[in-house]
Amino acid sequence: DGGITQSPKYLFRKEGQNVTLSCEQNLNHDAMYWYRQDPGQGLRLIYYSQIVNDFQKGDIAEGYSVSREKKESFPLTVTSAQKNPTAFYLCASSLWGRGAGQPQHFGDGTRLSIL
Amino acid sequence: KNQVEQSPQSLIILEGKNCTLQCNYTVSPFSNLRWYKQDTGRGPVSLTIMTFSENTKSNGRYTATLDADTKQSSLHITASQLSDSASYICVVGVGSQGNLIFGKGTKLSVKP
């Protein structure tokens, strides 16, 4: 079955540590996204990539970094500069860029907590 | 400021009953409106996408309506099932760039 796989499902970060969240898709979608979901808030865009080797900052990119070396993969690194990383992180993809009005397909998320 | 407001914040209904969730938006320029269903601990799943010219779109027991004049949308769920218990998120697309504004969601609980 085609879909988006996020791993790990749960992740714990120590003070001063960088952690990387994995996102892989086999839908052959061009665009990929990272969102952060906090209780009682709407999803907020962290980073967006329309094609390989290209990505753009979203609304809350500070303290995060991404890479897009392969079409299928879009890992997110939460750096030590992100002082409040505890949240549910969702990866998504769409067939074309977000301006095309295509539905976004989401993974099942990674829940990140601070130790 | 582009905003999406959903109501009610939470809702409890009995299995088999119908319900309607509301979404009001102040987004310009409007591109499209989406409804997603998110089960607890899972990622959202797309239910419908509507553009400016569409008034109604159905997906099984889910029917979304859009009134672009009043900037309101509703999601009607018919003959609810226990599996409908989830958060329902309204999302509005902005202009040609495709920025998405997410509502905070309505949490629906269907009780037997």
Q: DSSP letter for B96, please.
A: T
Nearest to B46 among A44, A99, A103 (CB): A103
Q: Is B25 exposed, middle or buried (0-12, 13-18, 19+ CB in 10 A)?
A: buried
Count CB atoms within 10 A of the CB of residue B14.
10
Query: Which residue numbers of B have CB closer than 8 Å to A's CBs?
Result: 4, 31-32, 34, 41-46, 49, 51, 89, 93, 95-105
pLDDT at B22: 98
pLDDT in tens, A38-73: 998 999 999 999 999 999 999 999 999 999 999 999
- Mean pLDDT for chain A? 93
CB A4 within 8 A of CB A91: yes
pLDDT at B72: 97
For the cut 70, the answer to whether the pLDDT of residue B77 exceeds it is yes
Q: What values do phi and psi take at B30, rounded to 5?
A: -75, 140
Q: Which single residue is written with the structure tokens 């938006």?
A: B25
pLDDT at B74: 98
Say yes or no for a CB contact (<8 Å) between A42 and B32: no
- Which tokens go with B40? 């607890």
pLDDT at A1: 64
Q: What percent of chain A has pLDDT over 70?
A: 99
For the cut 90, the answer to whether the pLDDT of residue B49 exceeds it is yes
Say yes or no for a CB contact (<8 Å) between B49 and A101: yes
